[in-house]
Amino acid sequence: MTAVKEKLIYVKRFRHDLQEPGWEESFNVPLEEPATVLQALQYVYKNLDPTIAFEYSCRYAKCGICGVEVNGRPILACTAFLKDKETVLAPLSNLPVIRDLVVDRSPLEKLLQDEEIYFKGADLEKSSVYEKAHEGNYFKPVKIPPGLETLLGCFECLCCHAACSKLDPSGRSLAQFAGPYIFLKLAQLNLDPRDRKDRKAQARRLGIEDCSDCRRCYCPQGIPIYRLAIEPLLR
């Protein structure tokens, strides 16, 4: 029979409508071990406080929505286990807080759109990358360069962005220093043989040179961001 143990979690909370600074609230959570942070939050929502705000979707480390900080470390709530008797939960750093553990991703989404950080192919009629087949169809097998498949494993949890010590939301803007998540997206495009923009120049304009003396990029899924993304863009 699985033992039920009570854990104490502290949740850093925030609401715009209360016109007051954020506060910390504690909850005693009895759960069968092993229990994840997400299971603890679900228990709080269902049994203790239905006003607590947090996000999740897939519950098995594929969607990246449930990113939170657990005892100061950015991680996915669905994969983080309650190991300590007391655990402090906070929203991801370096992002505006909407409510409690829910952060606003729109500044990064806007930057992706404004800077066209998405696939930009060439005109199919003029490109030598594609071969014309019958009836106006174009195709050519694309060989995946080394490292690209690993970088494509990013599911945009933004934990790397939260862990970056170079970001300062109260100081320079994302357009001045975009951070590791944006640089990883640029590295994906830089390795894509179909993409036609100069992603290295774009990365320099977005401040990647500030990463050259850091090399402490963090990914909860183990993607070596500096080695596979930052370093190739700096070269």
Per-residue pLDDT reduced to its tens digit, 152-172: 999 999 999 999 999 986 678
Q: What is the pLDDT of residue 168?
A: 80
99 and 110 both lie in a single domain: no
Q: 128: domain CATH number?
A: 1.10.1060.10
94 and 148 both lie in a single domain: no
Domain enclosing residue 16, as ranges:
4-103
Q: Are 178 and 206 in contact (CB under 8 A)?
A: yes
Q: Say how many domains are in the chain.
A: 2
Structure confidence by residue, pLDDT tens digits, 132-142: 555 556 566 77
For residue 205, CA distances in Å to 109, 222, 233 come to 18, 27, 12
For residue 134, CA distances in Å to 88, 121, 140, 150 come to 61, 21, 13, 35
If 0-12 CB within 10 Å is exposed, 13-18 middle and 19+ buried, where does residue 156 land? middle
Q: What angle do CA 35, 40, 42 make, to 5 degrees?
A: 125
Q: What averages of pLDDT result for each successive group of 10 residues across the chain (235 residues)?
A: 82 83 93 93 97 94 94 96 91 95 96 92 53 57 86 95 88 91 97 91 97 92 96 94
Residue 125 gets which letter from DSSP? T
Q: What is the pLDDT of residue 169?
A: 67
CA 78 – CA 27 distance, rounded (Å): 18
Q: Are 130 and 140 in contact (CB under 8 A)?
A: yes
Bridge-partner residues for 36, per DSSP?
81
CA 9 – CA 146 distance, rounded (Å): 42
138 and 179 both lie in a single domain: yes
Q: 98: domain CATH number?
A: 3.10.20.30
Q: What is the pLDDT of residue 122?
A: 61
115 and 78 both lie in a single domain: no
Q: What radius of gyration do the chain's Cα atoms show?
A: 21
Q: Is 45 helix (H, G, I), strand (E, B) or coil?
A: helix
**Residue whose token pair is 């947090």:** 54
Q: What is the pLDDT of residue 200?
A: 97
Q: What is the pLDDT of residue 113?
A: 96
17 and 53 both lie in a single domain: yes
184 and 124 both lie in a single domain: yes
